[in-house]
Amino acid sequence: MSASFHDLPVEERLSLTRRGTAHYSGQLALIDNEDFGRDTLLEGWTVAHLAAHVAYNAAALCNLMHWAETGEETPMYSSPETRGEEIAYGATLIPDAIRNLHDHTLVRLDVAWRDATDEAWQAEVKTAQGRTVPASETLWMRTREVWIHAVDLGVRAGFEDIPTVILSTLVPEIAGKWRAAGAGEGLVMVNTDNGERIEVSPGSETVEVQGSLPGLARWAAGRGSQGVTLAGGGEVPAPPRWL
């Protein structure tokens, strides 16, 4: 079994998250202000929508770290509707305001992590999906966010840029979410780099999607079928919904 992000010491997880943040910030910096209205790889979202979302996500994770440090219940968002309204509003800001929001929120979050006590890392908080997790889970939540959305900006980043330990944590996690939702019956993902098989759930017919780890992550995350093939030939099916 491949190494998992969750098994790494907090400092290593924090380092990977900071690398991802720098990677995402670098991709955003390559986009001119006049192009903030163009589409991203996420249907219906412009660069402005995506950049606002990533910035507000950092602020939401600051809420969880405050909760962990103080014991004062501070949800990521007051409601799912509020989250959507926040992104829609953020997308209307001028590009420089979105960039400032990004810079401000990522510094706030990094300081919250830098100053977190051992007790805070272990303190239980609740995600927007209602899962109760230790505050250290915010590192995985943010890592996933910045590395994948760097690709979604549609500049130069690809899944091949994402560290192996992150990809090898992401793909089984997505398979687990499909399994929990009763989706992906008979689906098997095969990592052609090492032969590892990730079976979603048994089914009367097996659908085997093969590819490199970056290719499997791209496909499973719903970002296209480049880098994967269907065993026996034919068109690679669309994956089940992940988020």
Whole-number pLDDT of residue 180: 93
Say yes or no to pLDDT of 1 above 60: no
- pLDDT level of residue 129 (50, 70, 90 thresholds): confident
Whole-number pLDDT of residue 243: 79
CB atoms closer than 10 angstroms to residue 110:
17
All structural domains of the chain: 5-157 (1.20.120.450), 164-230 (3.30.1050.20)
Whole-number pLDDT of residue 146: 98
- Tell me the per-residue pLDDT of 97-121, one tens digit each, with 9 for 90 and over: 999 999 999 999 999 999 999 999 9
230/243: higher pLDDT: 230
Tell me the mean pLDDT in the region 45-71: 97
Give the residue among 114, 88, 95, 128 at the shortest CA–CA distance from 14.
114
Q: Rounded to two decimals, what is the model's pTM? A: 0.94
Whole-number pLDDT of residue 143: 98
Tell me the mean pLDDT in the region 22-36: 98
Say yes or no to pLDDT of 59 above 60: yes
- Tell me the per-residue pLDDT of 134-147, one tens digit each, with 9 for 90 and over: 999 999 999 999 99
Whole-number pLDDT of residue 203: 81
Say yes or no to pLDDT of 65 above 90: yes
Whole-number pLDDT of residue 149: 98
Whole-number pLDDT of residue 242: 87
Whole-number pLDDT of residue 150: 98
